Amino acid sequence: MEKIIEEKNQGTALTLDKDQKNTRNLYIESYGCQMNFSDSEIVASILAQEGFNTTNSLEEADLVLVNTCSIREKAELTVRKRLEKFNAIKKTRPHMRVGVLGCMAERLKSKLLEEEKIVDMVVGPDAYKDLPNLIREVDEGRNAVNVILSKDETYGDVAPVRLNSNGVTAFVSITRGCDNMCTFCVVPFTRGRERSRDPHSIVNEVNELWEKGFKEVTLLGQNVDSYLWYGGGLKKDFDAASAMQKATAVNFANLLELVAVAQPKMRVRFSTSNPQDMTLDVIETMARFRNICNYIHLPVQSGSDRILKA
């Protein structure tokens, strides 16, 4: 899994320069891994087209979204405390709506929406394009939910906005979901099975970042080394693909080369790698291109065999 980003009391509130044409304010707060922060940029991009500016002030917000993490219990407890605060503010701003996004939304949808009734909207990681419809439902006084997991959604056709960016480094999502089914991890159940993004859309995004002045990109995924594009669909279905699809498939080493060649002056990193999927051709590609950083982020697990088995 990706590096977990934690704050002492709350997640990171993300903001973008205002568009004068937009009339409503979105406050979005992210917790957990870098993939969640990347997803928040996708959400902000989608909602910017729906009339929302981002704000870092809760008191100005018309819509509050919390992008959540279910990897650790502490993260869920923190989000619950934040939701309590949002609802306290909501009493003074009755028109304000609160929604939960991401992994916690998928896992606790019924509890959050029906039992505790502390949110107006619950949106899973594969349903962000449905946000305009869900917001209209909420505006009309109905609770809204979409946590359906997709077999092919990668958001490759959505240009993410860069929230609170330093203008130098950026994350580019290349895969979604995971097939590893580790006993300690909820990702396959909250983010779905693994699928890869069209390499051409990835290269286009990297090119656009370079044109905007960015100097470094990190290719991002639950497990980047298992990236495999064969025209769309789940990675687990690759064995049933046609001979042509298999012959023209793009693996992670191929993708690294495409990105490195497209922008030879841009530094390229990737996160996270799983040792079981790291192959020699990836190492050889790193050695051939000077702009691919000599850095591999590995999630190392350790513990008692007896406890892990239990």
At 215-239, the pLDDT tens digits run 999 999 988 999 999 999 999 999 9
- Is 302 inside a domain boundary? no
Is residue 74 pLDDT above 80, yes or no? no
Is residue 116 pLDDT above 90, yes or no? no
At 151-181, the pLDDT tens digits run 888 998 888 887 767 889 999 999 999 998 8
Whole-Å CA distances, 161 to 4, 45, 190, 268: 21, 5, 24, 20
Q: What is the pLDDT of residue 261?
A: 98
- Is 8 inside a domain boundary? yes
- Is 293 inside a domain boundary? no
Last residue of a domain, one of 115, 146, 177: 146
Same domain, 50 and 114: yes
Same domain, 131 and 192: no
- Band the pLDDT of 206: cuts 50, 70, 90: very high
Is residue 267 pLDDT above 70, yes or no? yes
Same domain, 131 and 177: no
CATH number, domain with residue 118: 3.40.50.2300
CA-nearest of 223, 218, 176, 170 to 198 is 176
Q: Domain of 17?
A: 4-146
| Nearest-angstrom CA–CA distance, 245 and 94 | 53
Return the percentage of the chain with pLDDT > 70, whole number: 89
Q: Average of pLDDT values for 254-282?
A: 94
| Nearest-angstrom CA–CA distance, 201 and 207 | 10
- Is 268 inside a domain boundary? yes
- Is 257 inside a domain boundary? yes
Q: What is the pLDDT of residue 2?
A: 37
Same domain, 18 and 124: yes
Model-wide pTM > 0.85: no
Q: What is the pLDDT of residue 262?
A: 97
Same domain, 70 and 113: yes
Same domain, 76 and 132: yes
- Is 151 inside a domain boundary? no
CATH number, domain with residue 245: 3.30.750.210
**Token pair for residue 17?**
């320069």
Q: Average of pLDDT values for 279-288?
A: 96
Q: What is the pLDDT of residue 71?
A: 66
Q: Which residues contact 234 (CB under 8 A, 6 or more apart)?
A: 151, 152, 193, 194, 195
User: How many domains are contained in the chain?
Assistant: 2
Is residue 115 pLDDT above 70, yes or no? no
Same domain, 249 and 283: yes
Backbone angles phi, psi at 180, to 5 degrees: -75, -30
DSSP string, the chain: -PPEE--SSS-EEE--PPPTT--EEEEEEE-EEHHHHHHHHHHHHHHHTTTEEE-S-GGG-SEEEEEE--SSHHHHHHHHHHHHHHHHHHTT-TT-EEEEEEHHHHHSHHIIIIIS---SEEE-TT-GGGHHHHHHHHHTT--EEE-PPPSS---TTS----TT--SSEEEEE-EES-----TT--HHHHT-S-EE--HHHHHHHHHHHHHTT--EEEEE-TTGGG-EESSSSBGGGGGGS-HHHHHT-EEHHHHHHHHHHH-TTSEEEEE---TTT--HHHHHHHHH-TTB-S----------HHHHH-
- Is 245 inside a domain boundary? yes
Same domain, 72 and 107: yes
- Is 224 inside a domain boundary? yes
Same domain, 45 and 13: yes
